[in-house]
Structure 1
């Protein structure tokens, strides 16, 4: 294993596709939302907005598709369309809870650094009862630039009083992996079906890659 787990002071997670299996639903939401304006979903949309904050994505939609709604109206509608799914339907990924428990036992602080909205990340936290694990939950809307800029990860590391060089990031897309690396952190790529076609690129950019969290749990057990 390349990542020196014994030296890790804090563990930082992306949300969508990393902690929870949620990427599947955004295609349907985008199709429905753009369909209201008679616009078909572009094939490259997800790649174009990869890593953008919720607010940056709203700007992209408004400018690219010439939408009449204000930025606040766009974001409010996305939150409305997605809230129930995040609160009640989006599952956490395999072995996430076991890994979080292992970190908790070892007293390693944890944080979330997400491009999603505060409302939707809170819906997942409440729905899955994850609130006791995380000492910092930040969205990219709270910093100057979204991923691949390092801002969001540096902010969470600051919250956790952790040296970025001793932080471990879990991410599922290239822009997020680059954000962690640009922050000077160790990065582990997490497999997600939605980004399966990017797997080779993800593995090239990250320090480590896992199919699910059972792999890193096994490594932690072997280090005892």
Structure 2
């Protein structure tokens, strides 16, 4: 579906701007295995796009009282920090899109389920922080994705009506959030293709940011 016009672009972070979700998956699986538990593909798919506290709750519920959540979290966080502190991979096409949008004066913001500490660190390491005037994190909202509050706050921070904002997301939880916030959702699936009910909420579904760039360029 063609995009007629828009006044701002809102970006999810993990899996949309930066390729961190594969690192998260690897370390969560490894840390759970140390206790003899398996994070299945189905369980991981349930967690995609959710705030960490909700992911922890899902894991604890799945594994039961014998699972040591604090030990698990300490283990995977240490490995993730080591892995991502010096290099955060940027998704293909992101820099070209951001440079183009910035050159045209387009307001840009991030709406992420990550904490403020993680978001600031990852975006800075990836070289992306300078592109965004506002970053809405899990610490800035009462309710995280799939609730609409993250995208509502991001749009408000830019002083742009949600219906005039493109929202770029890679997860089902993120698309639900963007849709219910009243934005124009575009999905770039990373680790899971959307179910039909999610696909119906998307204005577009693109293979990568290069394809997104083509669609947005035509409306600029």
Shift of 1:206: 0.6
Deviations 1:69-110 (A, max 9, x none): 55xx76555432212333334311111111111111121111
2:110 counterpart residue number: 112
Q: Distance in 1 between matches of 2:58 and 2:216?
A: 41
1:4 counterpart residue number: 4
Shift of 1:30: 1.4
Give unmatched runs, 5+ long, in structure 2: none
8 Å CA contact 1:12, 1:113 repeated in 2:
yes
Residue 208 of structure 2 is aligned to residue 212 of structure 1: yes
Give unmatched runs, 5+ long, in structure 1: none
Q: Distance in 1 between matches of 2:74 and 2:137?
A: 16
Residue 126 of structure 1 aligns to a residue whose secondary structure is: helix
1:39 counterpart residue number: 37
Shift of 1:63: 4.0
8 Å CA contact 2:88, 2:126 repeated in 1:
no
Aligned residue pair count: 218
8 Å CA contact 2:3, 2:219 repeated in 1:
no
1:21 counterpart residue number: 19
Q: CA RMSD in A?
A: 2.4
1:174 counterpart residue number: 172
Shift of 1:135: 1.3
* Superposition TM-score, scaled by structure 2 size: 0.86
* Superposition TM-score, scaled by structure 1 size: 0.85
Q: Distance in 2 between matches of 1:170 and 1:210?
A: 10
